Amino acid sequence: MIRRIFKALALIVAAFVAVAFVVNTDLLAPESAARPLLIAHRGLGQTYSREGLENDTCTAERIFAPEHPYLENTIEGFEAAFAAGADIVEFDVHPTTDGQFAVFHDWTVDCRTEGSGVTREHSLAELKALDVGYGYTADGGRTFPFRGKGGGLMPSLDEVLEAFPDRRFLINIKSNDEDEGRLLAARLNALPPERRADITIYGGGRAVEAFKADSPQTKVLGTDGAIRCFIRHGLLGWSGYVPEDCRQTLFMVPANFAPFIWGYPHRLSARLAEHGTMLVALGDNPGRPSTTGVDDEATLRKLPRRFEGAIWTDRIDRIGPLVHSD
């Protein structure tokens, strides 16, 4: 009796493995002819050590020795990113007290500039008067290689869109403020439909929901269900099913975890695309939440040469030429 039970269980397990293999293996799927899209995170800027990194760590105070003159979230940094081969530039926005949007990452201006206070509590003119290179140091504060060089470099959203009229952007809404979502929707709704098609909004919370309600024609990738997405995909993805939380979002996969995800890369990217989701390859995750980019050749070589997804990088100057030369 026990032997029969074990035999039945073995048959069930074997059947499950066989079905999961057939549904997910890329051996039975045609390899994509498309190269991955390249997303330049904040354009081209300075990178920094992630040792002991916390949410409130000032990253400008821990940059590596500069290898190029560009600062993140600036017109010059975006130009350099596109010139290096970026398909999409990602950046962050904050509303200003005079109804504009500033392109800047941090919630406060204290880390990178000589100013202080919450970014959104300043006017655009006040923000543009700041030196966005002021706080950068690679040697613990002995020298500041960009101090005095970043005055006036914080752009407005309008300036970015005007400077790059035919480029693609991924814009992050960082707040939970419904009014911000509505204000951004009004700004983008004023654009021609063909221009708006090049812009994707991502983020979570009430600001994003308000944006979606006021600008339903703009592509939005919500991130509120990211953790649920990975858990449910781990449980159900073997069947080819894409859980609701994995739809219309960014499916961001660390390079060292990617081979263990159901259907990766070709079948996974195709399934996600059917539900409006972009598969995005990140750098290695050391075991904590991370948005480390694919920033060197060794990490890039862990990814498939061709797949219908995107590569997230903080070093488009390194990765762009490598991908375009393959």
Tens digits of residue pLDDT in 199-251: 999 999 999 999 999 999 999 999 999 889 989 999 999 899 999 999 999 99
pTM: 0.92
Give CA–CA dist 287/299, Å, rounded.
16
Instruction: State both tokens at 35.
Output: 């190269």
Confidence of residue 307 (pLDDT cuts 50, 70, 90): confident
What pLDDT does residue 51 have? 82
Q: Which one is predicted more confidently, 7 or 153?
A: 153
In percent, how much of the chain has pLDDT > 90?
A: 78
Instruction: State both tokens at 29.
Output: 């799927």
What pLDDT does residue 241 have? 94
pLDDT digits (tens, 9 = 90+) for 55-92: 789 999 999 999 999 999 999 999 999 999 999 999 99
Give CA–CA dist 241/264, Å, rounded.
14
Confidence of residue 290 (pLDDT cuts 50, 70, 90): low
What pLDDT does residue 31 have? 65
What pLDDT does residue 53 have? 81
pLDDT digits (tens, 9 = 90+) for 173-190: 999 999 999 999 999 999
With a cut of 70, say whether residue 8 has pLDDT above it. no
What is the CATH code of the structural domain delimited by 2-54+69-106+155-325?
A: 3.20.20.190
Please, how many CA atoms are within 13 Å of residue 94, restricted to the half-sphere of its CB?
22
What pLDDT does residue 316 have? 98
Rg of the chain, C-alpha, whole Å? 22
With a cut of 60, say whether residue 276 has pLDDT above it. yes
What pLDDT does residue 288 have? 57
In percent, how much of the chain has pLDDT > 70?
A: 88
The one-letter amino acid code at 101 reads F
pLDDT digits (tens, 9 = 90+) for 117-145: 999 999 999 999 999 999 999 999 999 99
What pLDDT does residue 39 have? 98
Lowest mean pLDDT among 39-43, 46-50, 282-286: 282-286
Instruction: State both tokens at 110.
Output: 């204290």
Give CA–CA dist 9/24, Å, rounded.
22
